[in-house]
């Protein structure tokens, strides 16, 4: 069997990319190891994704945004970043950039559901579920994948969207730098007495960090970052103790807070592939760039990257040239590297700085950074542009 494009992984990045190639002359196969049922009805996984304005535009272009009910979209009007026990905060306000919001929060499972919906109606896209890609061969002439059902599929281009721990990336021989922060992020939802006013908080406490992100009604998405050896302690706290702990950590700004549902842990490992492309092969999504969630850029960059690759492919199609030529793939690599590398380094730098609680110099630096951020308008504007700009 032969396809123009084989996509490995039907996560948010793989599905977005497939949709970006809808209505082209390319025949596309997505191979996903999990079941069709889990794609059609993804379970809530605790993640609420902060989307930039560009991401909303791109999700609209591929027909996924209209599938998300407006009740499930929460605007972030303001963002406040606090350090230690100080009440001083770095402040971002949507009014300064003349937009209705800085960004929008949507649950990850609803984004996945929206990306899967009506996929059947896209005539050039096929999906094979309950199937893993076991190996990939690639050279100048062509590429092929061997599936867990024993079939071999030939392709003009293979695109891996198989997570930050991508097996395919390793098998193809693309190196990546990985940073294991020795931490976990624990996410859950809580309801509270007072209104959040659509303000997102990032509190860099000493020892652990707490983000409180506004959902619809009096509910928030809670993101706790803590050293891995404290993970079980936080997960096993009784609901009452957990509620009291978070209300106290958050200084009762929202009154009493109450856990809704489960707490979900994720290991904190950031990944950056040294090269996003090889012969007739490309990495997208977390397989290319797996971000620490503190700056909420992972999926936003994933969407941007897949859009860049799809754009380069469509341009090649228009010109009648090979869609997987080195020139096409190199162009994707350099555009996406320019878009993602500074953010990746800055995010890891922020994590390093705000994880350092011991040294007085680091504590002073943390405070200085917030004040500089507040008072140097070009810096603040650059951060807000990252959230609200809709151009590439
Ligand atoms: C706590 C948390 C909060 C986050 N918050 C934000 C946020 O606010 N904003 C933001 O932009 N991003 C955020 N992110 C990041 C975002 O969730 C990820 O960037 C995004 O989910 C990555 O999507 P993906 O499709 O690249 O990978 P994944 O979602 O990991 O999907 C990979 C897919 O590949 C499949 N697969 C793997 N191997 C194979 C194989 N061999 N064969 C077939 N299929 C295979 C898997 O089954 C899976 O379906 C957050 C992440 C976390 C953990």
CATH of the domain at 174: 3.50.50.60
CA pair distance 47, 49, nearest whole angstrom: 6
Low-confidence stretches of the chain (pLDDT beneath 70): 84, 88, 98, 354, 356-363, 370, 374, 377, 379-380, 384, 386-387, 390-392
| pLDDT value at residue 306 | 98
The Å distance, Cα 48 to ligand 1 centre, comes to 13
Domain span holding position 324: 2-178+270-388
Asked if residue 242 belongs to a domain, the reply is no
Count of all residues that appear for the chain in the document = 392
- Output b/e per residue, 250-284; b: 16+ Cβ within 10 A: beeebeebbbeeebebbebebbbbebbbbbbbbbb
Q: What residue spans of the chain are helical by DSSP H?
A: 12-20, 36-40, 53-61, 108-116, 167-172, 231-236, 239-249, 298-319, 326-355, 360-375, 377-388
| pLDDT value at residue 356 | 64
Asked if residue 295 belongs to a domain, the reply is yes
**226, 184 Cβ separation under 8 angstroms:** yes
Asked if residue 381 belongs to a domain, the reply is yes
Q: Which residue has the least CA distance to atom 11 on ligand 1?
A: 299
The Å distance, Cα 136 to ligand 1 centre, comes to 21
pTM of the full structure = 0.94
**301, 343 Cβ separation under 8 angstroms:** yes
Nearest to 203 by CA among 352, 102, 296, 87: 87
- pLDDT, one tens digit per residue, over 209-252 is 899 999 999 999 999 999 999 999 999 999 999 999 999 999 99
The Å distance, Cα 320 to ligand 1 centre, comes to 33
Q: Which residue has the least CA distance to atom 31 on ligand 1?
A: 11
Asked if residue 202 belongs to a domain, the reply is no
The Å distance, Cα 163 to ligand 1 centre, comes to 5
The Å distance, Cα 359 to ligand 1 centre, comes to 35
The Å distance, Cα 267 to ligand 1 centre, comes to 13
Q: Which residue has the least CA distance to atom 38 on ligand 1?
A: 162
Asked if residue 257 belongs to a domain, the reply is no
The Å distance, Cα 286 to ligand 1 centre, comes to 6
For a pocket test of ligand 1, which of 7, 9, 52, 200 has the largest count of ligand atoms closer than 8 A to its C-beta? 9
List residues near ligand 1 (CB under 6 A).
8-14, 31-34, 47, 49-50, 108, 132-133, 161-163, 167, 185, 187, 266, 285-286, 293, 296-300, 302
The Å distance, Cα 145 to ligand 1 centre, comes to 21
| pLDDT value at residue 93 | 77
Sort residue 329 into left (φ over 0), alpha (ψ -120 to 50) or beta: alpha
Asked if residue 285 belongs to a domain, the reply is yes
| pLDDT value at residue 115 | 98
CA pair distance 281, 388, nearest whole angstrom: 32
Asked if residue 196 belongs to a domain, the reply is no
For a pocket test of ligand 1, which of 7, 8, 10, 11 has the largest count of ligand atoms closer than 8 A to its C-beta? 11
For a pocket test of ligand 1, which of 33, 54, 158, 185 has the largest count of ligand atoms closer than 8 A to its C-beta? 33
| pLDDT value at residue 361 | 66
| pLDDT value at residue 10 | 98
Asked if residue 330 belongs to a domain, the reply is yes
Nearest to 277 by CA among 164, 178, 158: 158
Task: Give the count of domains, the chain.
Answer: 1
Nearest to 387 by CA among 54, 60, 77, 114: 54
CA pair distance 33, 281, nearest whole angstrom: 19
State the DSSP code for 43. Answer: P
């Amino acid at each position: 069997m032969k396809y123009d494009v084989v996509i490995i992984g039907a996560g948010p990045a793989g599905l977005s990319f497939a949709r970006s190639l809808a209505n082209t002359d390319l025949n596309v196969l997505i191979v996903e190891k999990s079941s069709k049922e889990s794609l059609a009805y993804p379970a809530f996984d605790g993640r609420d994704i902060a989307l930039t304005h560009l991401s909303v535009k791109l999700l609209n272009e591929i027909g996924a945004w209209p599938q998300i009910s407006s009740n499930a979209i929460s605007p972030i009007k303001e963002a406040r970043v606090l350090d230690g026990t100080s009440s001083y905060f770095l402040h971002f306000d949507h009014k300064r950039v003349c937009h209705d919001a800085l960004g929008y929060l949507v649950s990850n499972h609803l984004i996945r559901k929206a990306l899967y919906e009506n996929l059947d109606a896209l005539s050039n896209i096929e999906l094979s579920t309950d199937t893993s890609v076991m190996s990939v061969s690639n050279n100048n002439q062509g590429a092929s994948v061997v599936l867990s059902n024993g079939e071999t599929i030939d392709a003009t281009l293979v695109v891996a969207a198989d997570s930050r721990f991508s097996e395919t990336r390793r098998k193809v021989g693309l190196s990546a730098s990985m940073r294991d922060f020795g931490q976990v992020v624990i996410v859950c939802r809580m309801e509270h007495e007072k209104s959040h006013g659509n303000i997102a908080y990032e509190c860099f406490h000493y020892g652990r960090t707490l983000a409180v992100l506004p959902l619809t009604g009096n509910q928030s998405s809670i993101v706790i970052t803590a050293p891995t050896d404290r993970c079980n302690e936080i997960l096993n706290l009784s609901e009452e103790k957990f509620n009291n702990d978070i209300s106290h950590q958050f200084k009762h700004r929202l009154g009493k807070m109450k856990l809704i549902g489960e707490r979900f842990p994720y290991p904190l490992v950031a990944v950056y592939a040294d090269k996003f492309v090889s012969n007739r092969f490309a990495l997208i999504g977390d397989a290319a760039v797996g971000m620490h969630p503190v700056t909420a850029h992972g999926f936003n960059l994933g969407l941007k990257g897949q859009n860049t690759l799809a754009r380069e492919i469509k341009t090649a199609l228009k010109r009648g040239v090979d869609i997987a030529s080195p020139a096409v793939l190199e162009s994707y690599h350099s555009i996406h590297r320019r878009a993602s590398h500074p953010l990746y380094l800055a995010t890891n730098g922020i994590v390093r700085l705000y994880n350092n609680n011991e040294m007085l110099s680091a504590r002073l630096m943390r405070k200085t950074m917030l004040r500089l951020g507040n008072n140097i308008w070009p810096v603040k504007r650059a951060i807000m542009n990252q959230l609200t700009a809709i151009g590439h």
